[in-house]
Amino acid sequence: MKKILLSIVTLLFVFNVQAANPKYVIQVSTDDARTQKIVLNNAANLQKYYGAGKVDIEIVAYGPGLGILTTGSKNASRVEKMAMNDVTFSACQNTMNGFKKKKGHFPELTDGVGKTPSGVVRIGELQQQGYSYIRP
């Protein structure tokens, strides 16, 4: 009886582990347009490989990379579309505060973009939760 119970528990554990979506965090901390495009392409390729809704992706932007998540970015419409298709975008509040000190106002974020108090801390938290880290 113990062997059967142990087998059932083992199978349930294996099933739950296999059922979890793969998880990726992608860092963008540069204003280089080519690198920013690669970040978005990486996310799109992950969704293409695993299937939309079958992979957890969060793009965290801080420092000069924050620009990709603003309405003035060449990629604003792509970011908005990807946010509607299960890609999470997180903008660093520390970077936004620095922007406000210099410019007198916060940057305008694209629709679908969330905020995190610290981009670097958010990346570390996600890694501790089992996310694979990508930095193009």
DSSP secondary structure of 68-88: GGBTTSTTHHHHHHHHHTTEE
Q: CA 20 → CA 16, 41, 55, distances in Å? A: 6, 23, 9
Q: Say whether 127 sits in a helix, a strand or coil.
A: helix
CA distance 86 to 83: 6
Return the pLDDT at 93.
98
Average pLDDT over residues 43-48: 98
Question: What single-letter DSSP state applies at residue 63?
Answer: G
pLDDT of residue 17: 52
pLDDT in tens, 104-134: 999 999 999 999 999 999 999 999 999 999 9
Lowest mean pLDDT among 1-10, 24-33, 45-54: 1-10
Whole-model pTM?
0.86
State how far the Cα of 118 lies from the Cα of 10, in Å rounded to an integer.
39
pLDDT at 108: 98
pLDDT category at 19 given cuts 50, 70, 90 is low
Distance of CA 49 to the CA centre of its chain: 16
pLDDT band for position 101 (50/70/90)? Answer: very high
Cα distances (angstroms) measured from residue 78 to each of 3, 27, 74, 125, 133: 53, 17, 9, 26, 22
Domain 21-134 grouped into CATH 3.40.800.10: no
